[in-house]
């Protein structure tokens, strides 16, 4: 049998255990951290009512999480203005990813509740996952491994610049 090492998987498993044990929320921690910590927290954009953060354990390159600053577990708990701001951040994220990654499509969705697959059920967030024709291959099917082609640190710098450029352009319009 061949072995394929994926040490990031143990980091993911440990992070789930830590959040359950101490009740911490990685989204709240990233949102409350000073902006100079954005690169280490993988935050790529801060809006007025919410923010965009990279998924530390992505399904594909460019996998983003869009979350309100307010810690709520369900979309219906958001005020209308917060829900609108969340969707505006999703739209901005789609525009940025089209520029930086040129995907053929996207998966956009929210898992509400642990049974629905939410790894963090108490802080609602929207996943935006770029997709390309042929991006599903034998690795996830046979080896349960997804190949990500770019370092998260490089991706964070690239996306932060792209979000800054996109919001500067929209202010100029």
25-172, CATH topology level:
HIT family, subunit A (3.30.428)
Name the residues annotated as catalytic.
125
Q: How confident is the model at residue 153 (pLDDT cuts 50, 70, 90)?
A: confident
d(CA 87, CA 67): 10
CA distances from 20 to 14, 17, 28, 121 (A): 10, 5, 14, 11
Averaged over 86-106, what is the pLDDT? 97
- Residue 29 has what pLDDT? 96
21-68, pLDDT tens digit by residue? 556 899 999 999 999 999 999 999 999 999 999 999 888 889 999 999
Domain-wise residue ranges, the chain = 25-172
Averaged over 91-117, what is the pLDDT? 93
* pLDDT of 85 strictly over 80: yes
Burial environment of residue 27 by CB neighbours within 10 A (0 to 12, 13 to 18, 19 or more): buried
């Amino acid at each position: 049998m061949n072995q394929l090492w994926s040490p990031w998987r143990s980091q993911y498993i440990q992070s789930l255990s830590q959040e359950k044990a101490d009740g911490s929320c990685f989204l709240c921690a990233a949102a409350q951290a000073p902006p100079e910590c954005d690169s280490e927290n993988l935050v790529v954009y801060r809006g007025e009512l919410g923010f965009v953060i990279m998924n530390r354990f992505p399904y594909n390159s460019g996998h983003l999480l869009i979350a309100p600053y307010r810690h709520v577990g369900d979309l219906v708990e958001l005020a209308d203005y917060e829900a609108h701001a969340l969707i505006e951040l999703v739209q901005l994220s789609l525009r940025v990813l089209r520029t930086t990654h040129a995907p053929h499509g996207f998966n956009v969705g929210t898992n509400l509740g642990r049974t629905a697959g939410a790894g963090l059920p108490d802080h609602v967030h929207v996943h935006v996952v770029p997709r390309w024709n042929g991006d599903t291959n034998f690795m996830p099917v046979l080896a349960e491994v997804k190949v990500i082609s770019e370092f998260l640190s490089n991706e964070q710098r690239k996306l932060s610049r792209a979000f800054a450029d996109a919001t500067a352009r929209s202010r100029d319009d």
